[in-house]
Amino acid sequence: MSEPLRLGVAGLGTVGVGVVKIIQQKANLLAERSGRPIEITAVSARSRDKDRGVPLDAYGWEDDPAALARRDDIDVFVELVGGDDGPAKQAIEAALAAGKDVVTANKALLAHHGQRLAELAEDAGHVIRFEAAVAGGIPVIKALTEGLAGNDVERVLGVMNGTCNYILTRMENAGLSYEDAFAEADGLGYLEADPTLDVGGIDAGHKLALLAAIAFGTQPDFDAVELEGIGSITIEDIRQAADMGYRIKLLGVAQLTGRGLEQRMSPCLVPAISPLGQLEGGTNMVVLEGDHAGQIVLRGAGAGQGPTASAVMSDVIDIARGTRLSTFGQPARGLRKARPARAAVPAPYYLRMELVDKPGALAKIAAQLGEAGISIDRMRQYGHEATTAPVLIVTHRTTRAALDEAIRGFETTGVLASTPVAIRIEEV
């Protein structure tokens, strides 16, 4: 059997410990499947003394992850530190300079610095693998770079943050307000230390930027992702969507159009009977649409120790087998810089607002929609308050630009009692 593949694992949090467990518990299976033993040589973390529930005394220790990356007795540097800059970035750069391959779960780092790191790796003849950075245990990177390599990808979409999906499904199933569902998720430990990474769509936006780069042969560009979180979604929106046969999801969509690359992460209505509409709790789902393969639906655990560590090990095993792929599926220097485009593909929209309860208010709103070239599919007034009237409108297909024009017109009418909420109805 070949020489062992020697790993240096930086970061012994939930995922890092999961990787250690797999290597300790499945050594024979890993060797059989990869054709060579896979071993940990050394590790790095903030504290040596913390009890992590796995034996670590057989491994070398480095306090500095960059020092671990430079060790002569490792072949692959496994970065599980996290963060879009700082020690993680420095350690990966050190690993590449020292002649190591890299496996990482760091979506934020790659979304911001992936192009430069990919060029560094490929110029040095090394690889960066990151299956665990997107959708946990779902093998979506492999699906795009390998399974659909013979396709022009037409669209990538999906639910890529389990915390947001948990909050939205709890609102619907238990009749909770957003605030109550948020507090419940926080109490269960589902939220990041900075909750806006989850509920603001940032975490999922990082993932979308990476998938778009692979799918469309473009440089990863997180700054071009349109982000809208779920904080404005109310239980009334959830109920009204259900009445119309829809469910609300924080949905990422990337597609290349004649205007450029559209990347958006925002709440959308999807048909309740669709695979995305049936997705419950903290589960993730990614839908890939290829010109020859058609629609491919991938569903599974988007986070957690086991699923994410499993994804890390899939990359490690590929390296052990000798599989060498460009970071984003094709040479990094050949990736083109896409022109960012706002959502230009027409779609129906759901509009909710409160109007001052006086004659002619609704007619003024309808007139503004008409002036923007938007026709109304359905309209409903419900639950009058003393001085205001909640109104729900579903438009026919229109562009977001036209809708924004109409909303600006609403503000000139003098009949708005609240800021309108607009949610795209996505065809899936």
For 322-365, give the DSSP string: T----TTSS-GGG-B-PPEE---S-B-EEEEEEEESSTTHHHHH
Can you tell me which residue has the tokens 């992702």?
A: 225
CA 194 to centroid of chain Cα atoms: 16
The 10 Å Cβ neighbour count of residue 15 is: 25
In DSSP notation, 151-174 reads S-EEEEEEE--HHHHHHHHHHHHH
Cβ-in-10-Å burial (0-12, 13-18, 19+) of 236 comes to: middle
Domains with residue ranges and CATH for the chain: 5-104 (3.40.50.720), 140-302+329-341 (3.30.360.10), 349-425 (3.30.70.260)
| Distance, CA of 84 to CA of 97 (rounded, Å) | 19
Q: Helix, strand or coil for residue 299?
A: strand
Q: Which of 100, 207, 337, 364 is catalytic?
A: 207
**pLDDT for the residue numbered 9:** 98
Q: Which amino acid is at 103?
A: V
Amino acid at 185: A
Note if 50 is an active site residue. Answer: no
Closest CA to 132 of 40, 32, 18, 33: 18
Quickly count: other Cβ atoms within 10 Å of residue 147's Cβ: 16
Distance, C-alpha 27 to centroid of its chain: 31
Please state the pTM of the whole predicted model.
0.93
**32's tokens:** 């059989």
In tens digits, what is the pLDDT along the chain, a chain of 428 residues? 589 999 999 999 999 999 999 999 999 999 999 999 999 999 999 988 898 999 999 999 999 999 999 999 999 999 999 998 899 999 999 999 999 999 999 999 999 999 999 999 999 999 999 999 999 899 999 999 999 999 999 999 999 999 999 999 999 999 999 999 999 999 988 888 889 999 999 999 999 999 999 999 999 999 999 999 999 999 999 998 998 899 999 999 999 988 899 999 999 999 999 999 999 988 999 999 999 999 999 999 988 899 999 999 999 999 999 999 999 999 999 999 999 988 777 899 999 999 998 888 999 999 999 999 999 998 888 766 678 888 999 999 999 899 999 999 999 999 999 899 999 999 88
**SS3 of 367, please?**
helix
Task: Classify burial at 79, counting beta carbons within 10 Å of its beta carbon; exposed 0-12, middle 13-18, buried 19 or more.
Answer: buried
Q: Are 221 and 340 in contact (CB under 8 A)?
A: yes
For residue 383, the model assigns a pLDDT of 67
Residue corresponding to tokens 């939930």: 14
CB atoms near residue 8 (< 10 Å):
28
Please tell me the number of Cα atoms within 13 Å of 173 on its side-chain side. 11
Predicted confidence at residue 192, as pLDDT, reads 84
How big is the CA angle at 45 (ends 43 and 47), to the nearest 5 degrees? 125
How many whole angstroms separate alpha carbon 207 and alpha carbon 217? 15
State how far the Cα of 152 lies from the Cα of 155, in Å rounded to an integer.
9
pLDDT at 17: 96
